[in-house]
Structure 1
């Protein structure tokens, strides 16, 4: 690592991959099904994205990892020249399997239980010590993921950075279940490493893939530290920090984990993109992050700006011929106005999603680039106070009116 925050775990550095270097901290854009929805890969490159993360679960179901492998791997398949990540599918198998989709924190006031399922939903995933049997959310067909299956899929997908198969719990699982799950995830991590090494030896002509172990343990300090220490002994190339957690505890939990992991290995925090979370996670030691939020909210007309998020379909923007964000340097803000983009949404034109996704992704990528530059310049705290003061202060002032 090239630079560190004074008195903290945050740092800036570089991750080397067969398809290029990733300067960290870095935001990794999510292209779930080998595409960032509504945006060309070329546009993602132009807006500064360093890497793309795709989803093993979704690509397994459609089009199939064998097809991606035959195409030359994920990057070649989607015409993305830079580094790629794939997650293990564990998140989707579990979250879709219990009917909560993207929401994993749920209502912690509920009585804790071992068999958690969303109200009105049918359980689609069943966990045992060997793996997970689940039904496809697309057509109900039955499938089974084990550590070996997940690693095999990810080897066929061919991403530069892949993740060990882990069990995702929720905040309403009992303490006893969380303990068993941490041990199960550790056991699966051992199996993932074994299979990863076996498949790497069988495919020596393929670019080397880095395997990251995933730290679980919910919001229990002893379990998070235990999980991190256990994985640190196994020789992973890096580490993911996953699991359900409450927003206010994010920095604390990342700090617990970071302090237990090897300082010379990258740490990836799964699933964040809000400005306050990014600053908190970097200060606590996270190096890279991914989240679907910038593109997902863009398709719903929610726009990131220096002074907070807003909805572009509001009537006040009907004759507003200024950019989405006057301080943004993206292609959308250079060429299109709020009035035009509002019109596109009202007319239900697909171009609205494209233009807003380009802007939102650029906003988050540029913010993390600024954080990295501030670490190198010794100005992290100054940048944090300035950015968050404007972003949330202005948003609070607007909502109070």
Structure 2
């Protein structure tokens, strides 16, 4: 399944950040994001390297899987080892030995979900570290400063993401606060550019909020487009609203975003989520599922997800997935992987994290090929039928 469309051209030295739409099939988009550190082929899935590592994998494995970009996390890296320390050591790319693009999220979601005690004001969020209880302040300006110290190629505005379902008044309050923080994030990024803290070719993305309320989503998107960001993310989904509500909200939001800039759906998701979102016109994704589910014994394969803890695999000598481009999926038996997972051996988590990371990259490559050939709808129908999980094997997010 290792199908690929080559990049149209190698990037020139230190080019401006740019998005190229190469082909459209319905609403599905084949494109490229140009950065000084290389081209990101879209639709793209970003493996999550929260604390400067994609869990259980070497950077070389992630690169060889086909990933053009990784995601790092502002909240976690500011707490440990610290943004200033990473900058002193040469930046995040050098620190983790990853020479391709890196996107950093703003830290807002983690502050809301992990901070032990937090207080939200117009200025920002004061919170206690989940590690040691130390107190910190994260504002739009500090978030951008940290992302610049890390050296992120794509940075995200500071925003407030709330869990759904929630009262409309609360969703509207968080959306409007996020709009004001977007303006401050943009000003802070421009100041970093003028002072040399950020470099030409780096970019700041806005985040559309508004829960599943379509009117709020439209207001958020329209206001952010007026601010003229290089790219736009849809945030605040996959936080409890369910698949159908997520897809419906996405379908109403994307038409309000520019067609000549990247569209990023944050924190999503399952292979089926990705297929349906690409069908609507999303270009970028991230999610912890490939490695998190791998660590918990779940494998994504071209015949659907498998729960390798299941006793039926104890004497199954077949390879995990003969169609995978990952050597581990072809070379190790299901019985052996079942044994590793049941025994709590690290190697089991390493193998499945590798297999799942390759599966997600192969899935994106297959989508790019299908769009290029003008057959995305047929491909999507066939692929969804193949990989739709049974109730017994379905992995949890």
TM-score (norm 2): 0.90
Aligned match of 2:363 in 361, 367, 382?
367
The equivalences for 1:52-67 within 5 A come to 52-67=70-85
Whether the aligned pair in 1 keeps the contact of 2:50 and 2:73 (CA below 8 Å) is: yes
Alignment deviations for residues 52-79 of structure 1 (CA, whole Å, 9 cap, x no partner): 1011100000000012112222111100
Change beyond 3 A, Cα 1:191–1:398: closer
Q: CA deviation at 1:47?
A: 1.1
Q: CA RMSD in A?
A: 1.6
Greater alpha carbon shift after TM alignment, 83-92 vs 300-309: 300-309
The equivalences for 1:183-332 within 5 A come to 183-203=176-196, 206=199, 208-243=201-236, 244=239, 245-332=241-328
Q: CA deviation at 1:396?
A: 5.1
Q: CA deviation at 1:129?
A: 1.4
Change beyond 3 A, Cα 1:205–1:61: closer
The equivalences for 1:1-400 within 5 A come to 1-6=21-26, 8=27, 10-97=28-115, 124-203=117-196, 206=199, 208-243=201-236, 244=239, 245-392=241-388, 395=390
Q: CA deviation at 1:398?
A: 7.4
Whether the aligned pair in 1 keeps the contact of 2:212 and 2:246 (CA below 8 Å) is: no
Q: CA deviation at 1:348?
A: 2.1
TM-score (norm 1): 0.89
Name the CA distance, whole Å, in 2 between partners of 1:229 and 1:137: 35
Change beyond 3 A, Cα 1:326–1:395: farther
Q: CA deviation at 1:386?
A: 0.7
Gaps of 5+ in 2: 1-20
Name the CA distance, whole Å, in 2 between partners of 1:205 and 1:382: 43
Q: CA deviation at 1:204?
A: 6.5
Change beyond 3 A, Cα 1:397–1:42: closer
Whether the aligned pair in 2 keeps the contact of 1:200 and 1:208 (CA below 8 Å) is: no
The DSSP-based 3-state class of the residue aligned with 2:55 is coil
Gaps of 5+ in 1: 98-122
Whether the aligned pair in 2 keeps the contact of 1:331 and 1:358 (CA below 8 Å) is: no
Greater alpha carbon shift after TM alignment, 235-244 vs 306-315: 306-315
Name the CA distance, whole Å, in 2 between partners of 1:146 and 1:319: 54
Name the CA distance, whole Å, in 2 between partners of 1:208 and 1:155: 12
Alignment deviations for residues 371-394 of structure 1 (CA, whole Å, 9 cap, x no partner): 1110111111111111111222x6
Whether the aligned pair in 2 keeps the contact of 1:94 and 1:125 (CA below 8 Å) is: yes
Q: CA deviation at 1:248?
A: 0.9
Q: Which position in structure 1 is the counterpart of 2:9?
A: none
Whether the aligned pair in 1 keeps the contact of 2:107 and 2:158 (CA below 8 Å) is: yes
Name the CA distance, whole Å, in 2 between partners of 1:137 and 1:261: 35
Name the CA distance, whole Å, in 1 between partners of 2:195 and 2:175: 30
Change beyond 3 A, Cα 1:207–1:71: farther
The DSSP-based 3-state class of the residue aligned with 1:248 is helix
Name the CA distance, whole Å, in 1 between partners of 2:176 and 2:198: 34
Alignment deviations for residues 333-363 of structure 1 (CA, whole Å, 9 cap, x no partner): 2322212222222332211111110000111
Whether the aligned pair in 2 keeps the contact of 1:294 and 1:364 (CA below 8 Å) is: yes
Change beyond 3 A, Cα 1:397–1:182: closer
The DSSP-based 3-state class of the residue aligned with 2:281 is coil
Name the CA distance, whole Å, in 1 between partners of 2:82 and 2:244: 38
Paired positions, count: 371
